[in-house]
Every structure is written in structure tokens, then in C-alpha cells.
């Protein structure tokens, strides 16, 4: 095995997804290496969630090949593979009054509550607290889920997804429903996490450029199930590529490592 093969976390080649005679994804190829942090961008209905569903080992493509963590989908126990993938979904339902620390611990079993048959070790408790510290929740480890703000819940869910030390982290619109301050706190936490866990690979889905962490290294743009641009972020995210992907003329700006977009007509009038 070459060094490149050893560092490859996701390798998808020529994948199609067809449902009801309609292509949801068409001829998508994506290779994600350890330490890379991909943005998956596109308008509603572009195929982002469909692709993330497959890369998270929740489904198979209609055609093409997908290898996740060195395992070929279709030849592996999908449930076992998912235990090595961290998945952050802000729509995660939890109605139990669990403390943030305990929410993070449930990531070991991927269950909505602590497993009463399991004895959690001191090392596991320390790991949960360390993750909360990294995500700026160290002083809120006793805060109960039902009283948390949406931003606090978002950061707790990222820590939960990392509890089992996955090699791949999938973030499905993690800033959904967050106000400005909560979004910034979440993105700062993700940036810090990525700097501390060097080999972690991640894929973050969003519609909004403002929701991308500064640590984003690569991007894949989707429209109508097709890749319109992909590669290192400075090459893939341009005014031209975003305008083409969203079918609207915009001017893309980057300041302090973060992106924003403005309609080109507004940008011209502001000059």
C-alpha cells in the first residue's frame, strides 16, 4: 500500500444515484485524505445530503465504487463501519435531561442515552471533558440538554460525534438554526478541533458560505446532482464557480479566512 492509499479516508469513483428514474447524483468522484476538510456546497436539491448519506455508510450508490476508511461499500458490515464515522446532525432528537458530559459519552454507543449495562472508564470520562474543553463547553459540562441553547447543543453534538475517535467526521449543516454568536462559537470550536486532531478528515455540508470554518481546505460544488467545481478551496471557491453553481451572479470575498458572497449588482453599487 502506498502512502497516498494509506492516508485516503474516502475514495468515491464515478458514482451515480438513481431514484424513480431520476439521477440524484451523476458521475461523482471524490477523494478525501487524512487531515483534509472538505466543504460540500450547493443549492437545495443539489444532492448534498444524498452524497453525505452514502459517505456515512447509510446507503449504496446505484453504480460506481465507494471506499470509506479502506472498506468497500457493498462488501462490508455497514453498521460496524458507521461506528468509525462521526456524524453531526443538528436535527438530532434528544428529549432526555442529560448533562452535556453525558451527551458526549453517548457517542461511544451511538445511543440516545447512557447504556446502563456499560461501565464508563475514567479515561472515557476524561476524554469527554477534553472534547468539551476543545469546543468551548468545558465550563458547561453539567448543563442539561433540555436547557441548552441551540449553539450549546451544536457544540455538544460535535463532541459526541468525536467521542469514539473517528477518522472521518461528517457535519450536516451544523450551523442550522444558530444565531450569529452561536454560529461563530461553533465554527471557532471546529477550527480549534481540526488544529488539534491533525489526522481527522471532515466533510461539512452547507448552503451558506458564511457557515464555512476558516480551516476548510477543499470544496466540492454540486448542482442538480453534478459536480460543477472541486479541489483545493482557493481554486474551487471563486466568484465564477459560485455564480455558476447557484445560477446567480455573485462576488465572493474572503476576509480573515472566512467567506462571504454578495450579488454582483449590489457589489457594483457599493463600490
Find the CATH number of the domain harbouring 178.
Answer: 3.40.50.300
Provide DSSP, the chain.
--HHHHHEEEEEEEEEEEETTEEEEEEEEEEEETT-EEEEE--TTSSHHHHHHHHTTS---SEEEEEETTEETTSS-HHHHHTTEEEE-TT----S--BHHHHHHGGGTT-SS--TT-PPPHHHHHHHHHHHHHTT-GGGTT-BGGG--HHHHHHHHHHHHHTT--SEEEEESTTTT--HHHHHHHHHHHHHHHHHSTT-EEEEEES-GGGS-TT--EEEEEETTEEEEEEEHHHH--HHHHHHHHTS-EEEEEETTEEEEEEHHHHHHH-
pLDDT in tens, the chain (271 residues): 444 555 899 999 999 999 999 999 999 999 999 999 999 999 999 999 999 999 999 999 999 999 999 999 999 999 889 888 999 887 777 778 899 999 999 999 888 888 889 999 999 999 999 999 988 889 999 999 989 988 888 889 999 999 989 999 999 998 888 888 888 888 988 998 898 888 999 999 998 999 999 999 999 999 999 999 999 999 999 999 999 999 999 999 999 899 999 987 665 555 4
Tell me: do 9 and 27 sit in the same domain.
Answer: yes
Tell me: do 5 and 79 sit in the same domain.
Answer: yes
- Which of 144, 165, 186 terminates a domain? The answer is 165
The answer to whether residue 270 sits within a structural domain is: no
- Which of 142, 165, 188 terminates a domain? The answer is 165
Q: What is the value of pTM for the model shown?
A: 0.89
| Structural domain total, the chain | 2
Domain that holds residue 14: 1-84+169-237
Amino acid at each position: 500500500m502506498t502512502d497516498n492509499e494509506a492516508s485516503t479516508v474516502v475514495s468515491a469513483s464515478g458514482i451515480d444515484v438513481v431514484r424513480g428514474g431520476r439521477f440524484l447524483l451523476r458521475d461523482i468522484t471524490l477523494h478525501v485524505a487524512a487531515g483534509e476538510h472538505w466543504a460540500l456546497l450547493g443549492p437545495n436539491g443539489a444532492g448534498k445530503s444524498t452524497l453525505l448519506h452514502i459517505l456515512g455508510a447509510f446507503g449504496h450508490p446505484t453504480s460506481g465504487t465507494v471506499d470509506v476508511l479502506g472498506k468497500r461499500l457493498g462488501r462490508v458490515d455497514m453498521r460496524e463501519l458507521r461506528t468509525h464515522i462521526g456524524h453531526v446532525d443538528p436535527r438530532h432528537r434528544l428529549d432526555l435531561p442529560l448533562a452535556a458530559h453525558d451527551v458526549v459519552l453517548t457517542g461511544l454507543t451511538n445511543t440516545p442515552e447512557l447504556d446502563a449495562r456499560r461501565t464508563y472508564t475514567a479515561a472515557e470520562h476524561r476524554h469527554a471533558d477534553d472534547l468539551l474543553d476543545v469546543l468551548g463547553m468545558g465550563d458547561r459540562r453539567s448543563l442539561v440538554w433540555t436547557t441548552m441553547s441551540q449553539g450549546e447543543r451544536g457544540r455538544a453534538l460535535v463532541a459526541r460525534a468525536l467521542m469514539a475517535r473517528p477518522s472521518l467526521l461528517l457535519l450536516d449543516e451544523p450551523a442550522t438554526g444558530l444565531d450569529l454568536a452561536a454560529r461563530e462559537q461553533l465554527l471557532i470550536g471546529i477550527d480549534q478541533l481540526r488544529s488539534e486532531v491533525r489526522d481527522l478528515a471532515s466533510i461539512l455540508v452547507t448552503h451558506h458560505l458564511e457557515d464555512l470554518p476558516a480551516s476548510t481546505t477543499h470544496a466540492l460544488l454540486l448542482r442538480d446532482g453534478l459536480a460543477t467545481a472541486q479541489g483545493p478551496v482557493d481554486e474551487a471557491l471563486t466568484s465564477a464557480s459560485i455564480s455558476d453553481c447557484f445560477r446567480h451572479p455573485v462576488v465572493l470575498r474572503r476576509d480573515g479566512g472566512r467567506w462571504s458572497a454578495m450579488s454582483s449588482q449590489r457589489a457594483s453599487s457599493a463600490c
